[in-house]
């Protein structure tokens, strides 16, 4: 089953009076459980695609579907619900809340969802911190952790609410190559264990090497799309 689809998506950004084309007719269908890399040169449209899959923005033309539902007519509240309930985000610069501990950063989305009692919530957080290999760092603040450890917290934060899709924009770009490879291995392991779909962008051939499907984007179009 397709978990998310782009159908003839065109995205133009408006800068003053000028329209900047970012996507020029992209159609892709991502199946449940896939581990997909978006690759392509700077400015090719990777972040734009992730923002559209992530319901952070709407296409100029064409449609984006999450689980069979076109998001075009969703209100901004409904889009926020979709993001909170179905999507997890991982960023290049980790984007943890600096005053919160690792535990509290991971707990935060569960508090927003209001679905669990405190005891259940604590269990979920400790379980996922253990899964990503940093249970012993639960009380550390982001500043007191290495980049790789912070990205593990961010992956735990994305996965703790058991989302359908994790979207990651250049998740290894601020890490050294060894740490970056560890993060990719962790993402792949979590993908295989939880069957969560992962879509991540990269410039790095090492990262592309771990992908099970490689979608190459060039100048706002899909240039090639290969499953391995
Ligand atoms: N908010 C914006 N306003 C105007 N133009 C934008 C905006 N965001 C992106 N663009 C333009 O859209 C095109 C695609 O940008 P996008 O950020 O998706 O590329 P990318 O593949 O993620 O690049 P990079 O590898 O550098 O992150 C580029 O021409 C870019 O300049
Ligand atoms: Mg980008």
pLDDT at 1: 86
Contact predicate 53/4, CB 8 Å: yes
Distance from Cα 136 to the centre of ligand 2, integer Å: 33
C-alpha span between 58 and 79 (Å, rounded)? 10
Q: How far is the CA of 142 from the centre of ligand 1 (A)?
A: 28
Please state the pTM of the whole predicted model: 0.96
- Domains of the chain, residue spans: 32-58+74-227
127-184 pLDDT per residue, tens:
999 999 999 999 999 999 999 999 999 999 999 999 999 999 999 999 999 999 999 9
CA max distance for the chain: 53
One CATH from 3.30.360.10, 3.40.50.11060, 3.40.50.300, 2.60.40.10 for 32-58+74-227: 3.40.50.300
Sign of CA dihedral 201, 205, 206, 209: positive
Give residue 135 CA to ligand 2 midpoint distance, Å.
31
CB-based pocket (< 6 A), ligand 1: 13, 15, 20, 22, 40, 42-48
pLDDT at 208 (0 to 100): 97
Percent of the chain with pLDDT over 90: 97
Residues of the chain below pLDDT 70? none
Q: Which of 19, 38, 40, 44 to mutate to test the pocket of ligand 1 (most atoms within 8 A of CB)?
A: 44
Closest CA to ligand 1's atom 3: 13
Q: Pseudo-torsion of CA 41, 12, 164, 99, nearest 10°?
A: 80
């Amino acid at each position: 089953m397709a978990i998310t689809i782009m159908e003839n998506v065109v995205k133009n950004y408006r800068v003053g009076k000028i329209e900047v084309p970012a996507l020029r007719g992209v159609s892709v269908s991502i199946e449940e459980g896939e581990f997909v890399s978006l690759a392509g040169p700077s400015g090719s449209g990777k972040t734009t695609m992730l923002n559209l899959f992530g319901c952070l923005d709407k296409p100029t033309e064409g449609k984006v579907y999450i689980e069979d539902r076109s998001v075009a007519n969703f209100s901004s509240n409904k889009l926020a619900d979709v993001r909170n309930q179905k999507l997890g985000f991982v960023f290049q610069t980790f984007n943890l809340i600096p005053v919160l501990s690792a535990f509290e950063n991971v707990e935060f989305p569960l508090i927003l969802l209001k679905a669990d009692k405190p005891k259940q919530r604590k269990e979920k957080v400790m379980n996922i911190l253990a899964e990503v290999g940093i249970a012993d760092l639960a009380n550390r603040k982001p500043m007191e952790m290495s980049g790789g450890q912070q990205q593990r917290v961010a992956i735990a934060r994305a996965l703790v609410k058991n989302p359908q899709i994790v979207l990651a924009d250049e998740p290894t770009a601020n890490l050294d190559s060894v740490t970056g490879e560890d993060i990719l291995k962790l993402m792949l392991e979590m993908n295989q264990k939880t069957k969560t779909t992962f879509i991540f962008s990269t410039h790095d051939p090492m990262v592309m090497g771990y992908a099970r499907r490689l979608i190459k984007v060039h100048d706002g179009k899909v240039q090639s799309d290969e499953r391995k």
